Amino acid sequence: MDTIVIMVRITKRKVGKYEYYYLVRSFRKKGRICKEQKYLGKEVPDNVRELMEQFKKKGLSEFYEKLERIKKNFQLEWNSLPKSVKDIEKEKIAVAFTYNTNAIEGSTITLEEAKEIIEDKISPNKPLRDVKETESHAKVFLEMLDKKEKLSEQLILRWHKEIFGETKPDIAGKYRDYLVRVGDHLGSDWQDIPWLIKKLFVFLKTKGMNPVELSARVHYRFEKIHPFGDGNGRIGRLMINYILWLNRYPMLVIEYKKRRSYYKALKRDEEGFVNYLLRRYIAVHEKMLK
């Protein structure tokens, strides 16, 4: 990978008795941290947020071109496949995604067992809860790919109910009404959840943002709200892939073996998490650039 996501900040320099303001753009290129700057003037302009976004986008043009190439090459490859082959590929993705997303949350089901459950309908000698959640998650995932409904609050509530209806019926399909803490992070006050989720889905309609970046921001904000008593990570990762799929991008499986870097990224601020997810996405789909 060459250019990676850019961070933009305002800096002030004093020369003699005068102060001057600049925008500084920092980015990683070929393993090195590089910086560029833009002069703002002796005062910070009122439209500085807009200028920061423009400065960031200008520096990211090469990066977004790579994302578009990934999308284009994926679509060329995907559209060339017969329907029967597409169905097989979807099932393979369902196995990989279901295994990894559940394993991150503590499921005892192995990758091979997930394959047996989803493809062969064979139940391993494992806790019934883990087996049921594997079956239900794969079903939701495959239906998600085929139905292509609008991503909405009603849809994520339905996903949650379908995945956890048999194993956690007391919390399935409804927001929590108590406080939760995940590591050092305290989830949003349960009384604020309804309007925070509505605000999130308003943000989802943001125009002009690359879908890969949008999926990262939506996931980060959803996880910070942490609206459910359990299953937030699984619903949040479904949201990432649904945004990508609806926008005709290849999906992203966050691997169980790399969960530590994922958790570490979620502890950063939003820009830090976006940086992580975009780097991961390009690394996973690097072959689509060739």
pLDDT digits (tens, 9 = 90+) for 190-223: 999 999 999 999 999 988 889 999 999 999 999 9
Query: Does residue 62 register a pLDDT over 80?
Result: no
For range 85-101, the mean pLDDT: 97
Whether residue 16 has pLDDT greater than 90? no
Q: What is the mean pLDDT of residues 171-185?
A: 89
Place of tokens 């005709």: 248
Sign of CA dihedral 230, 234, 237, 242: negative
Strands 181-182 and 185-186: antiparallel
pTM, rounded to two decimals: 0.84
Express as a percent the part of the chain with pLDDT over 70: 94
Longest CA–CA separation in the chain, Å? 77
Which tokens hold the place of 258?
């790399």
Handedness of CA 111, 211, 157, 227 (dihedral sign): positive
Fold of 64-289: Fic-like fold (1.10.3290)
Query: Residue 142: pLDDT above 80?
Result: yes
- As a whole number, mean pLDDT of residues 40-53 equals 83
Q: What confidence tier does 3 reach under pLDDT thresholds 50, 70, 90?
A: very low
Q: Are 52 and 8 a contacting pair, CB within 8 Å?
A: yes
**Angle (CA) 208 223 227, round 5°:** 115
pLDDT at 31: 62
Residue 41 has pLDDT above 90, yes or no: no
**pLDDT, tens digit, 9 for 90 and up, residues 70-91:** 999 999 999 999 999 999 999 9
Q: Let me know: does 50 contact 27? Beta carbons within 8 Å.
A: no
Highest mean pLDDT, choosing among 41-55, 127-141, 265-279? 127-141
241-288 confidence digits (pLDDT tens): 999 999 999 999 999 999 999 999 999 999 889 989 998 999 999 999
For position 182, what pLDDT does the model report? 77
Give me 175's structure tokens.
């927001």
| Model pLDDT, residue 1 | 43
User: Residue 36: its pLDDT value, please?
Assistant: 80
* pLDDT in the model for residue 59: 63
8 Å CB contact between 240 and 219 = yes
